[in-house]
Amino acid sequence: MWTAAGSLAAWLWLLLCQGFFWRTDVRLPPSRDPAAWPSVCVVVPARDEAAVLPASLPSLLAQEYPGRAEVFLVDDGSTDGTGALARELADRHGGLPLTVGSPGEPPAGWTGKLWAVRHGIALARARDPEYLLLTDADIAHAPDSLRRLVAAARTGGYDVVSQMARLRVESLWERLVVPAFVYFFAQLYPFRRIGRDGTRTAAAAGGCVLLRADAAGRARIPDAVRHAVIDDVALARAVKRAGGRVWLGLADRVDSVRPYPRLRDLWRMVARSAYAQLRHSPVVLAGTVAGLALVYLVPPVAVVAGAAAGSPAAAVLGGAAWLVMAGTYVPMLRYYRQPLWLAPLLPFTAFLYLLMTVDSAVRHRRGRGAAWKGRTYARPDAVPDEG
């Protein structure tokens, strides 16, 4: 009974005091067109992305942007013809100018896509752009996406404007896991707090980040975050520490076209970075497992155990916590256009995430370190930080 009461108290606190994380109305802020449209360079790191490029790259090339803009795709050692396909798509569809570059093998200390991003930014700086749009190779943009991002950044005076792309939700496992992924992210990094001046909360969504070029220079992006596994959050933190303003919200017309049809695919996506989120700390891992159990697993267990043991107080408290939990999940399900009967299943999904987090720690302790597109790296705690 007391454990169920603790879970309900935790949910009431999350409901009212965690930046209203469960609301999904944080979209691009109101904006107006600038008198003169600044120049923008789009940087797309790509490694073995031939399967998704036909659905994503043409949308970037077709951007209806009034100012000067061009696209730099960095083919990071692909073996599936990514670079050649990108050139073919540009010849076929036209639109914004496309440059395809290759950075070579990354030196020690660079993780994930950041070495490719660095090469793309170096190419872009020759054009002296005012803004950089960092976007992934699996992200499809509506024709006015770039225009709306720049207008929002200019109007609000933001150095980073980032949108959490709407991920694909078609398979059974995607329906169970993907909306919860964004829900948990918002719980950790409430979007309202990120955009509020004077707060320390900072995060971005790596699939769509509009970054002011001079802010990138002040924050030493991407060199300052070169060993970060969760590079989008690290980027936002670096910009905010350097005095920049950051905004993050949900996207309406920016979509990921990458499929995750099997649980194994989603498991790998989460396990890649879960332990890094916990700063590779066994103590934080233990606290996280205990917290997940108290907040997400206790409510249904209390309902069943209370009914079986004849403890109506435990069952009622657990049921109330479960109801609040499901209620906070409903807006995210609606955003993803999913049936509301998935809301009571959130404890099951949270249990999967608990297992993924533990597996992420096990992988790290076995020395596997970070990985991106088949390329593995030294464990982050073995990489010296040069400031």
pLDDT tens by residue, 143-194? 999 999 999 999 999 999 999 999 999 999 999 999 999 999 999 999 999 9
Which runs of E-coded beta strand occur in the chain? 40-46, 69-75, 98-101, 131-135, 139-141, 160-166, 208-212, 246-256, 371-372, 375-376
CB 141 within 8 A of CB 59: yes
Q: What is the pLDDT of residue 108?
A: 83
The whole-angstrom separation of Cα 4 and Cα 302 is 6
pTM of the model: 0.93
What pLDDT is attached to residue 117?
A: 96
Listing DSSP states for 158-179 in one string gives -SEEEEEEE----SHHHHHHHH
pLDDT at 386 over 80: no
The pLDDT of residue 313: 94
pLDDT score recorded for residue 154: 97
Q: Using an 8 Å Cβ cutoff, are 204 and 246 in contact?
A: yes
Residue 380 has a pLDDT of: 47
pLDDT band at 372 (very low <50, low <70, confident <90, very high): low
Cβ contact 219:238 at 8 Å = yes
- Torsion, Cα 172 177 183 188, to 10 degrees, reads 180
Q: Give the mean pLDDT of the chain.
A: 93
Torsion 372-374-378-379 (CA) sign: positive
Report, as an integer, the average pLDDT of 50-73.
Answer: 97
Alpha carbons 268 and 90: distance in angstroms, whole number: 32
Judge whether residue 279 has pLDDT over 70.
yes
pLDDT at 378 over 60: no
Q: Is the pLDDT assigned to residue 111 strictly greater than 90?
A: no
Written as six digits, the tokens of 32 are 């107006």
The answer to whether 109 and 380 have CB atoms below 8 angstroms apart is no
- The token pair at 196 is 């509020």
The number of residues making up the chain comes to: 387
Average pLDDT over residues 25-30: 94
Tens digits of residue pLDDT in 197-255: 889 999 999 899 999 999 999 999 999 999 888 999 999 999 999 999 999 999 999 99
In whole angstroms, how far apart are CA 347 and each of 22, 241, 322, 334, 383? 16, 36, 9, 18, 36
What is the 3-state secondary structure of 117-156?
Answer: HHHHHHHHHCCCCCEEEEECCCEEECCCHHHHHHHHHHHH
CA 127 to chain centre: 28
pLDDT, residue 347, reads 98
Which pLDDT does position 377 carry in this prediction? Answer: 60
Handedness of CA 362, 366, 369, 374 (dihedral sign): negative
Burial call 218-242: b when 16+ CB within 10 Å, e when fewer: ebebbebbbbbbbbbbbbbbbbbeb
Q: What is the pLDDT of residue 166?
A: 97
Question: Residue 107: what pLDDT?
Answer: 87
Residue 73 CA to residue 285 CA, distance in Å, equals 37
